[in-house]
Structure 1
């Protein structure tokens, strides 16, 4: 039975409460990717209906049916972060810094943090990565428990047909995938007693499912760029307007210096006044001391770390902490304290400028992994890989391989072209010897791990390898233009691609093998699952 059918997607039959498992929860969650009844309800809306506003109004309604009001979420002490690139890394830096303050409040002081929640997206290997407490994804049993508490409550409550025609019938229609996880995260964090939370926006800001947060402690915006134009607008001004929608009255806002799109700061400043923020601070990467060491690779991470330092400082000040960095009058840091230093150094964020060297079973291979999937992030990711290659010993023979896919973007060719231009052209080009294009299917038997199932792609395009063939042709054209001659390979799944790369190490004349894996978080997640051989049982 197709998961996109009305029976499977909208009347998802779940086992009796006593028998429900994590796999049951993931099966039910995956059905919400192609929620037939919800899609049909939206199709029936007239042209006069503001679909964006209705979408976020639905989040308010779903939380109401769970018994919550937006004011309830204020006790989570939320840091709300958006951006085009770097927002996930900023969240990771912020979480790592705040972890240094767990249970460190002085006796008799109100300043204390006992549990830190992080809501982020997308995930790499497990959906549970999106809902973390104190740095770790919630376990499978808790995920299933809270997932079905939300499911059952939404099945047993109703919405007004007049106000919410898209939620009818109420006992059947559930939130779509991301919206459900957002609502679930609030329920988890409140149930678990989280007293500091970091929320990463999914897409945009103004109409994002996370933007029912009423009173965050501080809001932040990382680097802005052109992305999701069909939802956010086709100019940097329109996109910035949408992102700044997370600003709240009387709440401080911190925004990264916008090097690539400086004009966006004019919109930021206008919106800060319009929405009545308590203060607006533009943070430059130079805020950090020059000798600051970061746990995430890539020179561009200094900007994300600087933003995280300011967000964390404001948040901790609001909670009453005094053991904080010292700042100069110009806003730069005079001195980072030990907790902030440790937080910046100890941060981990897999799949983002990540290196895996000589993994057992894959000796002789260096993997360079980044989930870059926008023009801006492809630029910085490619520059990171090229800088790593330049640092490699020149006396050793090296074979360079690209493993790439972008299944969901209309501009996949443009992303690939930008990557090519950054690495394989210019004054010191580093051409690839092999270029591999694969789908996001995890295993050679055609199956995905259940946490990695994606129903929002065209099965026909995946099965026919249409996108992969087009990307290979794009690369051939670029190679011909620049007089390179990489061998092109197209594979049906990630496992076959990885096994092919491994087979190349049997040829000693190839020397060290350097593999750049990028183009999609979904590709990177499936790749990491294959590399660790973590197949669903």
Structure 2
């Protein structure tokens, strides 16, 4: 109990580092979110105050991955492949990803598992105390005066570096948070390899409103002498990525990864046709990394690129797991199809997956959509989902907030300060989504589904469970919704 309480103290302290809704809105209006030239110098200064230099992280042999859609899944595939080599030189694998679904500990994993509560707590407060007990030159770093701490994501990035070094990680996989050029993970100096998953329009206030602007940011992770791979991208984005590769003096040219021939014959651990692209990128990243570690030869890598996979790669791809992404959960009377999707590209992929699995499943008594997207263009996304699933008839459409429990409380690890509490309490987004769905039904002369608006995820889940079964439910939208939904299914407040 003492450890759990201390862990909750760590989570509470971490949540205090979130950027609140008012600050984010002010930053958007002022245009200060796009380019923060102090972002990297400040991260290096925080690192110094921990007692390290960025060069210390090179010993972890880091794979650095960015993108808009699929970067987390690509990381999961890479981790699963490399885990098959634990007796051949890949002894301890660190994985840093974001956001988390149920617990913040998911962001910092070792050998596939979130670090334990006691370890998280120990290292969290060691970092906290080191930063509290050190100072910076406030003329150079005016925002680092007194007992200031880095914001949430920067703190978690620092914590991950600290944990992985203390725990003796010898291979690390880092997923970029937002963009690349100014992302806090970009203090990595010498990655073994860099990867770019599919690009799309997202985080426009920080990255720009066009695909070339976004590609410029993503290409910021490329490093001198490190090989770099990307999946096929629209040509305007590809031109920018190639230019950035030349500018950063990467090893050779930026290499474009098509679908690996071997992927067709495998049952990937992550569902969805689109995962074949992520798996193919992961194959190339893992192979290149293992060559850097002198575990594979150039001949091995060339054979892998042609589709001749070692058994370790095949097993890794088939056993990969990534919760909340095209996940099927079966309860008595209810089958939940769960996928986080917050961009138009991910809505397209998610809809395609659900349409395919729904067509193969037995006809349910009721089919339900459970949806929310609190911070992005929710009406555009729900309209796209509606059109993509025009042939799928929903009997009930449920719109909820991301609030976890019927008491009005969030799960401690899911507290969000970057949304408008007033808008959440008034159910503004949810009412607008219901109206948009109704308008689309009228325009398409489709039989109307019953609309339901609930203030929290727990009430939404209880309502769905009360329906006469069998019930088929598509849980889609924000990863915050998906995370809260999984917490409610676990039933642990």
Task: Please give the alpha-carbon distance, in whole angstroms, between the structure 2 residues aligned to 1:493 and 1:19.
Answer: 25
- For 1:142, the equivalent position in structure 2 comes to 119
Taking the aligned partners of 1:50 and 1:434, their CA distance within structure 2 comes to 40
User: Matches of 2:370 and 2:239 in 1, distance apart?
Assistant: 39
Do structure 1's residue 344 and structure 2's residue 345 form an aligned pair? no
Counterpart residue number, 1:13: none
Q: Does 1:73 align with 2:47?
A: no
* Kept after mapping to 2: 8 A contact 1:325/1:340: no
- SS of the residue aligned with 1:419? helix
Give unpaired runs (5+ residues) of structure 1: 1-16, 106-111, 506-510
Q: TM-score, normalised by structure 2?
A: 0.95
Q: Does 1:248 align with 2:223?
A: yes
CA drift at 1:122: 0.3
Work out whether 1:333 is the aligned partner of 2:306. Answer: yes
Q: 1:278 to 1:20 in 2, by over 3 A?
A: same
Shift of 1:339: 0.4
Do structure 1's residue 63 and structure 2's residue 47 form an aligned pair? yes
Please report how far the alpha carbon of residue 408 of structure 1 lies from its aligned counterpart in structure 2 after TM superposition. Answer: 1.2
Distance in 2, Cα, partners of 1:167 & 1:414: 39
Report what 2:157 is aligned to: 182
- Which one of 201, 224, 231 corresponds to residue 226 of structure 1? 201
Residue of structure 2 equivalent to 1:525: 483
Q: Distance in 1 between matches of 2:277 and 2:224?
A: 26
Task: Report what 1:408 is aligned to.
Answer: 375
State the number of aligned residues: 487
The equivalent position to 1:453 in structure 2, one of 387, 407, 415, is 415
1:320 deviates by: 1.1
The structural deviation recorded for 1:289 is 4.5
Query: Computing the radius of gyration over CA atoms, which structure comes out larger, 1 or 2?
Result: 1
Relative to structure 1, the CA distance from residue 480 to residue 350 in structure 2 (aligned partners, 3 Å threshold; closer, same or farther) is same
Q: Which residue of 1 aligns with 2:17?
A: 32
**Is the Cα–Cα contact under 8 Å of residues 197 and 278 in structure 2 kept in the other structure?**
yes
CA drift at 1:239: 0.4
Measured in 2, the distance between the counterparts of 1:262 and 1:288 equals 26
1:263 Cα deviation from its structure 2 partner: 2.5
Out of 60, 64, 76, which is 1:92 matched to? Answer: 76
- Cα distance between partner residues in 2 of 1:123 and 1:162: 35
The C-alpha deviation readout for 1:37-61, integer Å capped at 9, x for no partner, is: x969x98xx9999951112221111
Match of 1:123 among 92, 100, 108: 100
In the superposition, the TM-score normalised over structure 1's length comes to 0.87
Which residue of 2 is the match for residue 419 of structure 1? Answer: 385
Asked if the contact 2:263–2:279 (Cα under 8 Å) also holds between the matched residues in 1, the reply is no
Deviation at 1:288, TM superposition (A): 3.4
Any residues of structure 2 matched to 1:217-296 within 5 Å, and which?
217-258=192-233, 261-279=234-252, 280-296=254-270
SS in 2 for 1:298: coil
Native 8 Å contact 1:81 1:220 kept in 2: yes
Query: What CA deviation, in whole Å up to 9, does each residue of 1:111-140 have, x standing for no partner?
Result: x12110000000000000000000000000
* 8 Å Cα contact 2:65/2:174 also seen in 1: yes
In the alignment, is the contact (CA less than 8 A) between 2:3 and 2:117 conserved in 1?
no
Q: In the superposition, relative to structure 1, how do residues 276 and 356 fare at CA in structure 2: closer, same or farther (>3 Å)?
A: same
Q: Note if 1:198 corresponds to 2:173.
A: yes
Cα 1:125/1:249, change in 2 over 3 Å? same
User: Is it true that 1:299 corresponds to 2:283 in the alignment?
Assistant: no
Q: Is the 8 Å Cα contact of residues 364 and 472 (structure 2) preserved in structure 1?
A: no
CA shift for structure 1 position 281: 1.2
User: In the alignment, is the contact (CA less than 8 A) between 1:325 and 1:333 conserved in 2?
Assistant: no
Tell me how far 1:327 sits from its aligned partner: 5.7
Question: 2:406 aligned with 1:437, yes or no?
Answer: no
CA displacement at 1:419 relative to structure 2 = 0.5
2:359 and 2:32 map into 1 onto residues whose CA distance is 56
How far apart in 2 are the matches of 1:277 and 1:67? Answer: 29
Residue of 482, 492, 504 corresponding to 2:455 = 492
**Residue 323 of structure 1, CA deviation:** 7.7
C-alpha contact 2:77 2:320 (8 A) present in aligned 1:
yes
Task: Tell me the equivalent position of 1:12.
Answer: none
Check the 8 A contact 1:327/1:334 in 2, yes or no.
Answer: no
CA distance in 1, matches of 2:31, 2:445: 52
**Comparing 331-340 and 17-26, the one that deviates more:** 17-26
Which blocks of at least 5 consecutive residues in structure 2 are unaligned? Answer: none
Within 1, Cα distance between the matches of 2:352 and 2:3? 52
Shift of 1:432: 1.1
Answer yes or no: is the 8 Å Cα contact 2:369–2:475 preserved in 1.
Answer: yes
User: Are positions 1:463 and 2:425 aligned together?
Assistant: yes
CA shift in 2, pair 1:227/1:325, >3 Å: farther
Give the distance between the partners of 1:398 and 1:325, measured in 2 at CA. 55
- Report deviation, 1:392: 1.9
Distance verdict in 2 for CA 1:26–1:366, change over 3 Å? same
Counterparts of 1:92 and 1:153, CA distance in 2:
31
- Cα distance in 1 for partners of 2:33, 2:420 equals 28
C-alpha deviation, 1:145, in angstroms = 0.6
Alignment deviations for residues 287-317 of structure 1 (CA, whole Å, 9 cap, x no partner): 4353122111001000000000000000001
SS at 1:470's partner residue? helix
Pick the aligned partner of 2:326 from 327, 350, 353. 353
Deviation at 1:512, TM superposition (A): 2.5
Does 1 or 2 have the higher relative contact order (CA < 8 Å, sep 6+)?
Answer: 2
Distance in 1 (alpha carbons) for counterparts of 2:229 and 2:420:
39
SS at match of 2:17: helix
Paired position in structure 2 for 1:316: 290
1:243-267 CA distance string (max 9 Å, x none): 0000001100011112xx2321111
- The CA distance in 2 between the partners of 1:466 and 1:48, in whole Å, is 27
